[in-house]
Amino acid sequence: MKRIGVVFAAALLCYAYAFNHVDAVYATDEKAHLTAPPSMSVIKATLPYLQQLTGEVLYVKTAVYIGSVIKHKLNIQPELLANNFETMQKVHPYLFDVYHMENAYMRDMGDPYVKRSIAMLKDGMIKLPNEWRLPFYIAFNYFYVLKDNSSAYQYLHKATELSGNKFFSHLASVLSAKDGELKAGIIWLKALYENETVQIEREGLLKDIQAYEKAIMVQNKVYQYKQIEGSFPTKLENLIPNYLPSLPAIEAKFEILYDDELGLISLQRPRKST
Amino acid sequence: MVDSIKRIQALAKIIFLDGMRRHAVIGLVGLALISEMFGLIFLDFFAQDLGRAVSDFLFSTMWVTGLIFLFFHAVQVMAWDEEHKVIFGIISRPISRSEYVIGVGLGLAMLLLLLEAVLGGLAFAALLWVKSSVVIELYFQVFNYTHFILAWFGLVLSLLVVLSAILLFSGVVRGGFAVLMMSISYYFIASGLPLAREHISTLVQQGGANAALEYILQGLSFLFPDLNRMDYKNFILVDVLPVSVSEISMQAMLSAAYIVLALSVACFAYNKRDIQ
């Protein structure tokens, strides 16, 4: 009996040590939270009736991964994330949450990923032809990230047709104006802000809106300068102190650009390396 | 003929009651309930398409529970009768082997129907409850009762197709384990075949594969039907049916004919088999 007790205690110690080691490794290695998913073909071949549920499980797993990345301020793995979204979309193209999430996160991962996001959203439009949010997301990505206003305008019109919302119509007309990017941008951001339910996303959008408002204010001062002085300022610092006490501080994720020939202010997101 | 039907009914009733006595249905309903309770945590992750996530989860639970019933209970029934020599007691009475096969099939189908009816009722109630508790209507806009019943029929029909294949294997080979292995293989082939066909068809169009291979796969899909074709759960959340009624009827007829064919072959094989 005593021997069994000793063996049991030794086994328990070994188990506790191994458990502690493995658990610590798992907790610190963010890669362990999200392994590459089995390919879409494997899921479809082995789980025909359950492929939708598998897509949803992958969605939950990805949501947990993104949550841990935000919480622990880790670097996101863009390729892995994009693969996951593509697998989810292929096995369950009818689940709207996938489009909502991939659009929210892939648009900040660089142009190639935004293009992949747009491709997924376009596939989604075939499966969910009455869903106005899909062309709206596509239009937003074309405008906000890829700076392709004509494509954005086209998809925004599609969103208007599907939703019957006059607001989008107004936005499309502002966007079609050649120099209306800042004003169109702020309307767009406010629309997204109103529709966003995730607090962390709302905070990010609010910061963007504030940056746009500051840029529009500087743009107005540039036009005022032209009216009084007869020409555009050669640099923005020339507005100080008669037109502005100082240049406003813009959110770090934007660069403020100034074209002294046209007197145009624009905001640009610094390109992220992929 | 009438006597034959009476004998089949009597045997089916015994199989049904035996299944109830072994708690095959009650145990699986309990399992499904635990799974659905776990599902409440799972569903908390969905912000937008809540109705779809709930219906997918509930139908997947029904599908998995049905498969567990088929692979862990239905597979054993005929094998158990042979291994425990019960079959000699049954066929020494005025009942033919064909009647025995059909009676077992009918009894198991009744058990499966009861199981899926209970789970379907629970799923219906759960969907109603979730829809009534969703504050923002956009997240769960439509719950179509008729399409729910259609999806339920599709699920049951596809499980009955698997059951008919299990009865066929039970009629052909001896032993529960062998039948289980054959049934699982059948399920995976039937699931993977449509994908293989799609792939080969693309290759043939591009000139990368022989067209004969496409015909071989088409022939195989005659033996291994695409179980996914009766997956109608995506229709629960839409008002207008995206496919025609005639298409659905044709699919149902195809499945029913397959079940009858499989049972006929099972009867034929069991009549020829040496069960000593």
Tens-digit pLDDT profile for residues B242-256? 888 998 999 999 999
Total of domains in chain B: 1
> Quick check: B274 pLDDT over 80?
no
> Tens of pLDDT along B161-177?
999 999 999 988 888 89
- What is the predicted pLDDT for the residue at A31? 52
> Quick check: A177 pLDDT over 80?
no
Which of B53, B199, B228 has its CB closest to that of A49?
B228
Rounded to an integer, the average pLDDT of A196-201 is 76
A250, A215 contact by CB (below 8 A): yes
Best-predicted range by mean pLDDT among B148-157, B174-183, B261-270? B148-157
- What is the predicted pLDDT for the residue at A241? 87
Tell whether B57 lies on the interface with A, counting CB pairs under 8 A: yes
> Quick check: B127 pLDDT over 80?
yes
Tell whether B22 lies on the interface with A, counting CB pairs under 8 A: no
Token digits of residue A73: 């301020």
> Quick check: B265 pLDDT over 80?
yes
Residue of B nearest to A50 (CA): B60
Confidence class of residue A250 from pLDDT cuts 50, 70 and 90?
A: confident
> Quick check: B182 pLDDT over 80?
yes
CA distance B17 to chain A (A): 29
Task: Give residues with Cβ within 8 angstroms of A139, minimum separation 6.
Answer: A151, A152, A153, A154, A155, A156, A158, A159
Q: Which residues of B touch A56 (CB under 8 A)?
A: 42, 46, 53, 56-57
Q: Sign (positive/negative) of CA torsion B146, B147, B150, B155? A: negative
Residues B231, A49: C-beta atoms closer than 8 Å: yes
Rounded to an integer, the average pLDDT of B5-14 is 88
Q: Which residues of A touch B231 (CB under 8 A)?
A: 48-49
Residues A95, B192: C-beta atoms closer than 8 Å: no
- What is the predicted pLDDT for the residue at A170? 61
Q: Which residues of A touch B158 (CB under 8 A)?
A: 49
Task: Give residues with Cβ within 8 angstroms of B100, minimum separation 6.
Answer: B11, B87, B90, B91, B270
Confidence class of residue B60 from pLDDT cuts 50, 70 and 90?
A: very high
Token digits of residue B185: 């293989």
> Quick check: A25 pLDDT over 80?
no
Rounded to an integer, the average pLDDT of A250-262 is 78
Name the helix (H) or strand (E) containing B102: helix B97-133
Ranking A7-16, B90-99, B109-118, B144-153 by mean pLDDT, the lowest is B90-99
Which of B46, B57, B188 has its CB closest to that of A46?
B188
A120, A111 contact by CB (below 8 A): no
- What is the predicted pLDDT for the residue at A196? 73
> Quick check: A256 pLDDT over 70?
yes
Rounded to an integer, the average pLDDT of B230-252 is 89
The pTM score is: 0.75
Q: DSSP readout, A111-162?
A: HHHHHHHHHHHHHHHHHSTT-THHHHHHHHHHHHTS--HHHHHHHHHHHHHH
> Quick check: A41 pLDDT over 50?
yes
Cβ-based burial of A72 (10 A; exposed 0-12, middle 13-18, buried ≥19): exposed
Tell whether B48 lies on the interface with A, counting CB pairs under 8 A: yes
Helix (H, G, I), strand (E, B) or coil at B244: coil
Confidence class of residue B187 from pLDDT cuts 50, 70 and 90?
A: very high
> Tens of pLDDT along A49-64?
888 999 999 999 888 8
- What is the predicted pLDDT for the residue at A273? 47
> Quick check: B37 pLDDT over 70?
yes
Average pLDDT over chain B reads 88
Q: Which residues of A touch B186 (CB under 8 A)?
A: none
What distance in Å separates the CA atoms of residue A65 and residue B12, rounded to the nearest whole number?
51
Q: Which residues of A touch B155 (CB under 8 A)?
A: 49
> Quick check: A104 pLDDT over 50?
yes
Domain with B106, as residue range(s), is 2-272
Residue of B nearest to A45 (CA): B192
Residue of B nearest to A129 (CA): B242
Complex prediction ipTM: 0.79
Residue of A nearest to B48 (CA): A97
Which of A41, A49, A96 has its CB closest to that of B48?
A96
Rounded to an integer, the average pLDDT of A194-205 is 77
> Tens of pLDDT along A112-149?
999 999 999 999 999 999 899 999 999 989 988 888 87
Residues of A with CB under 8 A from a CB of B: 41, 44-50, 52-53, 56-57, 59-60, 63-64, 92, 94-97, 100, 197-198
Which candidate, B219, B218, B175, B204, places its Cα nearest to that of B80? B175
- What is the predicted pLDDT for the residue at A274? 41
Q: How many CB pairs under 8 A join A and B?
A: 68
Rounded to an integer, the average pLDDT of B115-141 is 88
Residues A49, B234: C-beta atoms closer than 8 Å: no
Tell whether B227 lies on the interface with A, counting CB pairs under 8 A: yes
Rounded to an integer, the average pLDDT of A242-260 is 80
Other CB atoms within a 10 A radius of the CB of residue B251 amount to: 19
Residues of chain B with pLDDT > 70: what percent?
97
